[in-house]
Amino acid sequence: MKLLVRAALVAVTLAAWGVAASPASAAPVSPAVVGGTRAAQGEFPFVVRLSMGCGGALYSPTIVLTAAHCVSRTGTNTSITATLGSVDLQSSSRITVRSNYVYQAPGYNGNGKDWALIRLASPVTSLATLPLATTTAYDSGTFTIVGWGAASEGGAQQRYLLKATVPFVSDTTCNSRTMYNGEVIASDEICAGYASGGTDTCQGDSGGPMFRRDAGNAWIQVGIVSWGDGCARPNKPGVYSQVSTFAANIKAAAASLGG
Ligand code: ARG
């Protein structure tokens, strides 16, 4: 069954404190990228850790793209701390910046439209940003996933950024009876993972980017970590917000926030 995002956010919060949580609607939750390995320092400069226990991607020097289910509403918000620039969340060379505004996708109700923007109180100009996929041209192939979330279902949040690669799964396959049986919103969501399981994002990775190389060999964001049934289970791929669907809206919203 679909892991409800509200339950997931609570689980993430608890997991951040090392508390095991088991939403009634799902199997026990676990930590960050499952089946991953450590990312090298500087390998993915655009990856952001958010203090509510989510990931994000630096879209511009002042804007972080994350998941709608990681935030509660649109409006002034100075309570979120973004950590950037280090694979080690405890590194003395990490950058930390406060939020000053949150923009949640209009009409977000827990089904689809799982994107949000966080505006930073001061610009981060020392790190590369991650461009959005603006067409479906890159909505296939092999994707990179990253995060500080659980490394196994029900596991702890991670100190060091983990990475893995996962293959695209078509909407038809992802919505088949053995997989999500129609629960995936084809227009808004893109699936990725192995039918055999073993590699996936997990609790605490939400909001983080899924990305690949474009024709010019540059990284381009195709997904936002959204949901899954457990983590890395066979026939339960990760489900990601489909960035190409929302790219124009994200761009306009970012511009409206001045970034
Ligand atoms: N909703 C989760 C979070 O808040 C992310 C779940 C991703 N699950 C997966 N199996 N890919 O962190």
Distance of CA 44 from the midpoint of ligand 1 (Å): 20
Cβ-based neighbours of 172, under 8 Å, separated by 6 or more: none
CATH 3.40.50.970 corresponds to the domain 4-28+45-129+246-256: no
**Measuring CA to CA, which residue among 25, 26, 33, 72 is closest to residue 203?**
33
The reply to whether 196 belongs to the active site is: no
Delimit the domains of the chain by residue range: 4-28+45-129+246-256, 136-244
Query: In the 8-state DSSP scheme, what is residue 217?
Result: S
CB-based pocket (< 6 A), ligand 1: 5, 8-9, 12, 149, 200-206, 225, 227-228, 231, 238
User: Mean pLDDT over all residues of the chain?
Assistant: 90
Looking at the CA of residue 205, tell me the nearest atom of ligand 1: 12
Looking at the CA of residue 53, tell me the nearest atom of ligand 1: 12
Q: What is the rounded distance in angstroms from the CA atom of residue 213 to the CA atom of residue 192?
A: 16
The domains spanning 4-28+45-129+246-256 and 136-244 adopt the same CATH topology: yes
| pLDDT the model gives residue 248 | 98
Distance of CA 66 from the midpoint of ligand 1 (Å): 12
Helix (H, G, I), strand (E, B) or coil at 255: helix
Helix (H, G, I), strand (E, B) or coil at 92: coil
- 6: pLDDT strictly greater than 50: no
Residue corresponding to tokens 């226990």 = 53
Q: What is the pLDDT of residues 211-256, one digit of tens each?
A: 999 999 999 999 999 999 999 999 999 999 999 999 999 999 999 9
Report the CATH architecture of 136-244. Beta Barrel (2.40)
Q: What is the rounded distance in angstroms from the CA atom of residue 45 to the CA atom of residue 204?
A: 19
Q: What is the pLDDT of residues 42-61, one digit of tens each?
A: 999 999 999 999 999 999 99
pLDDT band at 4 (very low <50, low <70, confident <90, very high): very low
| pLDDT the model gives residue 24 | 34
Once rounded to an integer, what is the mean pLDDT over residues 101-123? 97
The reply to whether 139 belongs to the active site is: no
Torsions phi, psi for 166 (to 5 deg): -140, 145
Distance of CA 31 from the midpoint of ligand 1 (Å): 9
Given a contact cutoff of 8 angstroms between Cβ atoms, the answer to whether 190 and 168 are in contact is yes
Bridge partners (DSSP) of residue 56 are 48
Beta-strand (E) ranges in 40-94?
A: 47-50, 54-60, 63-66, 75-76, 81-84
pLDDT band at 100 (very low <50, low <70, confident <90, very high): very high
Provide the 10 A C-beta neighbour count for residue 186.
16
Q: What is the rounded distance in angstroms from the CA atom of residue 214 to the CA atom of residue 144?
A: 12
